[in-house]
Structure 1
Amino acid sequence: MLPYKSLIQIDRESSVTLYIQVCNIFISLITNGTLKSSDALPSSRILAELIGVNRNTVKLAYEELMSQGWAESVDRKGIFVLSKLPLIIRTTAPESIKSIKSQIGFEWTNKLGTEIIHSGRSNHKQPIVMDDGFPDVRLAPIDQLMREYRSLSRKFYGKNFLKYGSTMGSENLRIAISSYLSNTRGLTVLPDNIIITKGSQMGIYLAAQLLLNPNDTIAVGNSNFFSADDTFKYAGANLERIPVDCNGMDVDYLEEILKHKKIKVVYIIPHHHCPTGVTMTMERRLKLLHLAKEFRFAIIEDDYDFDFHYDNKPYLPLASIDHNQNVIYIGSISKTFAPALRIGFMVGPAKFIEAAASLRKLIDRQGDTLLEEAFALMFENGEMERHFRKSLKIYKQRRNHFCEILKTDFKDEIEFRTPEGGLAVWANFNERINLIKMSDEASKNGLYIGNGNFYKNEAFSSNGQRMGFASLDENEIEKALGILKKILQ
């Protein structure tokens, strides 16, 4: 008989009932070849004594095994592993957990490589997190949103939102966003020109898959949003790096490239460029639109945080002044409300949006219709506008406080420009400062801050790091920068 006393280890603190634990262990012994077809199982009395449980627990475990088709009862003989199970060759125990993870029984392709670079986009155990520019979720009117969500779910017509809906997203939310874009950006579009996405990243992916074929060329900034670069590479495209200065992407440089190379798409972040935070001038925007018409390329305009511009009115998006339908406009509510609530949108010609919906259907039938409807109500009752206005005022105060401390306390360590908008400062650290070591030391002292690797690519290797101020209140800003100053000294 097998050494069941050591093989079957139960956890009395677990939320899983004891008989299910016993059943699951037997299933593991069968599937890994320890128990073979037609092997006899010990009697309920013997097994109960061996593993220290009530006999009824073993009987329930055996009944569960038989109900799932792993075992069978033979009259006057006992319980046996099912005789019809295929022969399973027992595998030798791996030397370590690491070797288990490395054993893959099928071929697959990883086009993105294996390195995972973090930029403050996940939970951290440190008391203070200086992310790379996220909203303060404590300011978001979550209670009002959940109230609308619950209210909809209780109404008789709200039950319809639990059924399959449009892959393009809630019509009510598309109508609300259409009105919102018109009022805030002068962008006049119909609901059929809008698809609701799970954040701006889904919009970037859908646009890339529709616009790019293998070996097509897409122009991007020499510094650029890392995840967008990966998305374009995954589509098989070649990246043409264009310099980005204090006035945004260098369109004159792009023009020279266009004279001898076919560019299929240009990806830009004209407001609060990621990572540097610069804003593209209106002169360059108009010239880019002229080049798009002349050279017949598409523009993916990533306008992820248009709503947060502090010192003056933001420039109109390219999509608002494009008269040739060359611009695919991508926006995000996640970046302005709460990152975990994945709501974004993509705007484009109706046929393009229809194609995007068909593609989206292959990987994600639809979004959370009930949540989208709740957001639609938040737009309609003015709650979203109140949230944006309130947040804008608070974030501006935090930006000013943050930048004032950087100017006075870090003048020898950090060079930066006070950003006109956005939720982060692009900080160029003194070359003597090792950002990886700085990040590690900060972690030991209770502060999470990135190490700059997220922003580097083959054309951009600045000793820089985005320093998010929006998600920290003024006391937290002082504590975070106090820890950083101590480390750098």
Structure 2
Amino acid sequence: MSSPESIPYRSFIQFDRDLNQPVYLQIAQQFINAIARGHLRSGTKLLGTRQLAELLDVHRNTISAVYEELFSQGWVEIIANRGTFISSELPTLLPSNEMENQYPKAAGYPFKKSFLLDNPFEKIEYDLSFNDGTPDIRLTQIEDLSRIYAANLKRKGNRKKMGYYNQDGSEYFKEQLTHHLQLTRGLAISKENLLITRSMEMSLFIIAEIILEPDDIVVVADIGYFSSNMIFQKAGNRVCTIPVDQDGIDTTALKQLCESEKIRMVYVTAQQHYPTTVSLSAQRRLELTQLANQYGFIIVEDDYDYDFHYEKQPILPLASNDQNGMVIYVGSFGKSLAPGFRTGFIVAPENIMQEMRKHLGIIDRQGDILMEQALGELIEEGVIDRQLKKSIKVYKERRDYLGKLLTAELRDWVEFNLPKGGLAIWLNWKKPINLYELAKRCEQRHLFLPKTLLYQTHHIRGTRLGFGNLDSQEMSQAIGILKEVLSEMEN
């Protein structure tokens, strides 16, 4: 509840001492108008008579008369030893034609509307839901996170940093993250090659602003990440698609496109292709970088799920072997942590990084210096490594368990390969099925299948099932519901 002192009384109380109507009645009417228009809501505490009288430059007895008048009409209630409050049960409000200061429902001027940016995400709260591969918040080491963040908040040396933020971010965090990326992803970079962002989407937005001009051609996979496609299309770019198979994007098709069109950028998720989870093969990685050098297009490598791999040695990013400055590397840090502790980053050559910092300074000048300090300590203390080792073991068990469930319960319906990394399995449906009807019927049984996980066209019928957020019992329940619904739809 707001403090009585924070209410802007003088903005809605106007009175004229020369009028025949008593001042206390004028003020009382102004209060009634403010209540009717929603400026003062039920339960709001008003200033005491002495304070309000001083504020409005009237006698205290005048304000007492105002409150008594409002009380007699039922607009306020006076509680002994507590004060005067707007009534919880108000009288009939004023007619709408007297509420001339109501906030307008629509703008009085034309403006551009973007259908491209309509939010594709649905929000339904069910105990059981599949997602596109997000971690389980229950596995997060909340104690370590809260300890380090609280320590940074209390540290006197950080107080000056709260009032000023360098748009380059925390130098300490950048140093720690640079070292982390050198060790885990084989990137021979310095902190001058690193830009800290809020998310992958912000990273792609900045890249599009700097690299792309309207009508530039951006190449993506024919089924890929919808958010990145939305960003490129909103920038006015031509988005061309190439096929993706069990070895990743088709580089032969890409070469054919390069021979007929001037390609500016290729967006790729090489480690685990989104949504199908396949990895770009070693041969195609080589062909992709050769094509970039030959035709001069930029590779934007989105490594959204690099941390979650189940092989002893994951494949290093394309950026780790980039000798000619043709790869811009986009990633996320702290995905295994609670959402508020995650951040994004861009790795690129220093000269283009200078332009990126300019744009970041406009759209996110404030940043979050304390969070970045805390994340730096999580790296230095080894909390991140310990967290990942524990969580990857759990996620591998969940991946294997979901694979067994799918084989045992839905083998007549789906085929799949267990991914080498990531937190989702891609299902190819063997039988004709309306996936949107499937999702609708599952929802009736309180199992949520977001539409963003369903891919159904004349050529594709697939579903991306995230397993990271479900334990074995929850997965058994969810697959049981899927089996029941599929049996109903078949009959």
Distance, in Å, in 1 between the alignment partners of 2:448 and 2:287 is: 41
Distance, in Å, in 2 between the alignment partners of 1:336 and 1:302 is: 17
**TM-score w.r.t. length of structure 2:** 0.80
Choose the corresponding residue for 2:111, options 108, 113, 121.
108
CA spacing shift, 1:326–1:113, aligned 2, 3 Å = closer
Whether the aligned pair in 2 keeps the contact of 1:330 and 1:345 (CA below 8 Å) is yes
Whether the aligned pair in 1 keeps the contact of 2:78 and 2:85 (CA below 8 Å) is no
Deviations 1:174-228 (A, max 9, x none): 1111111111111110001001111211111111111111000011111110000
CA RMSD in angstroms, aligned pairs only = 3.1
Aligned pairs (5 A) from 1:222-237: 222-237=222-237
Task: Tell me the CA shift for residue 116 of structure 1.
Answer: 3.2
Distance, in Å, in 1 between the alignment partners of 2:128 and 2:317 is: 34
Which AA in structure 1 matches 2:379? F
Aligned to 2:148: 148
Whether the aligned pair in 2 keeps the contact of 1:9 and 1:51 (CA below 8 Å) is no
Aligned to 2:121: 118
- State yes or no: 1:354 paired with 2:354: yes
Q: Report the secondary structure of 1:259's partner residue.
A: helix
Task: Tell me the CA shift for residue 443 of structure 1.
Answer: 2.0
CA spacing shift, 1:5–1:372, aligned 2, 3 Å = closer
Aligned to 2:46: 19
Q: Report the secondary structure of 2:187's partner residue.
A: coil
Deviations 1:235-257 (A, max 9, x none): 11100101111100111110111
CA spacing shift, 1:263–1:471, aligned 2, 3 Å = same
Distance, in Å, in 2 between the alignment partners of 1:179 and 1:3 is: 64
CA spacing shift, 1:460–1:268, aligned 2, 3 Å = farther
Whether the aligned pair in 2 keeps the contact of 1:217 and 1:263 (CA below 8 Å) is yes
Whether the aligned pair in 1 keeps the contact of 2:454 and 2:464 (CA below 8 Å) is no
- State yes or no: 1:328 paired with 2:328: yes
- State yes or no: 1:474 paired with 2:477: no
Q: Report the secondary structure of 2:464's partner residue.
A: strand
Aligned to 2:136: 136
Aligned to 2:424: 424
Distance, in Å, in 2 between the alignment partners of 1:453 and 1:306 is: 20
Q: Report the secondary structure of 1:138's partner residue.
A: helix
Distance, in Å, in 2 between the alignment partners of 1:89 and 1:46 is: 20
- State yes or no: 1:49 paired with 2:47: no
Distance, in Å, in 1 between the alignment partners of 2:366 and 2:463 is: 36
Q: Report the secondary structure of 1:265's partner residue.
A: strand
Choose the corresponding residue for 1:463, options 435, 458, 461.
461
Distance, in Å, in 2 between the alignment partners of 1:449 and 1:236 is: 31
CA spacing shift, 1:146–1:461, aligned 2, 3 Å = farther
Aligned pairs (5 A) from 1:8-407: 8=35, 16-19=43-46, 43-51=66-74, 53-54=76-77, 103-113=106-116, 115-118=118-121, 122=123, 124-407=124-407
Distance, in Å, in 1 between the alignment partners of 2:269 and 2:315 is: 12
CA spacing shift, 1:312–1:246, aligned 2, 3 Å = farther
Which AA in structure 1 matches 2:76? V
Aligned to 1:33: none
Task: Tell me the CA shift for residue 337 of structure 1.
Answer: 2.5
Which AA in structure 2 matches 1:53? V
CA spacing shift, 1:318–1:460, aligned 2, 3 Å = farther
Distance, in Å, in 2 between the alignment partners of 1:460 and 1:180 is: 44
CA spacing shift, 1:382–1:5, aligned 2, 3 Å = closer
Whether the aligned pair in 2 keeps the contact of 1:328 and 1:347 (CA below 8 Å) is yes
Q: Report the secondary structure of 2:451's partner residue.
A: coil
Which AA in structure 2 matches 1:17? T
Task: Tell me the CA shift for residue 168 of structure 1.
Answer: 2.4
Whether the aligned pair in 2 keeps the contact of 1:452 and 1:465 (CA below 8 Å) is no
Task: Tell me the CA shift for residue 453 of structure 1.
Answer: 6.5
CA spacing shift, 1:168–1:431, aligned 2, 3 Å = farther
Distance, in Å, in 1 between the alignment partners of 2:79 and 2:36 is: 17
Distance, in Å, in 1 between the alignment partners of 2:262 and 2:463 is: 33
Deviations 1:305-349 (A, max 9, x none): 112111352211000001001111011125332334341111001
Distance, in Å, in 1 between the alignment partners of 2:43 and 2:99 is: 27
Among all aligned residue pairs of Structure 1 and Structure 2, give the percentage whose two residues are the same amino acid.
Answer: 33
Distance, in Å, in 1 between the alignment partners of 2:102 and 2:77 is: 30
**TM-score w.r.t. length of structure 1:** 0.80
Distance, in Å, in 2 between the alignment partners of 1:111 and 1:9 is: 35
CA spacing shift, 1:6–1:118, aligned 2, 3 Å = same
Q: Report the secondary structure of 1:307's partner residue.
A: coil
Q: Report the secondary structure of 2:330's partner residue.
A: strand
Distance, in Å, in 2 between the alignment partners of 1:298 and 1:114 is: 25
Task: Tell me the CA shift for residue 108 of structure 1.
Answer: 1.6
Distance, in Å, in 2 between the alignment partners of 1:145 and 1:353 is: 30
Which AA in structure 2 matches 1:465? T
Which AA in structure 1 matches 2:176? A
CA spacing shift, 1:197–1:93, aligned 2, 3 Å = closer
Distance, in Å, in 1 between the alignment partners of 2:78 and 2:371 is: 49
* Alignment length (residue pairs): 429
Whether the aligned pair in 1 keeps the contact of 2:415 and 2:429 (CA below 8 Å) is yes
Which AA in structure 1 matches 2:107? I
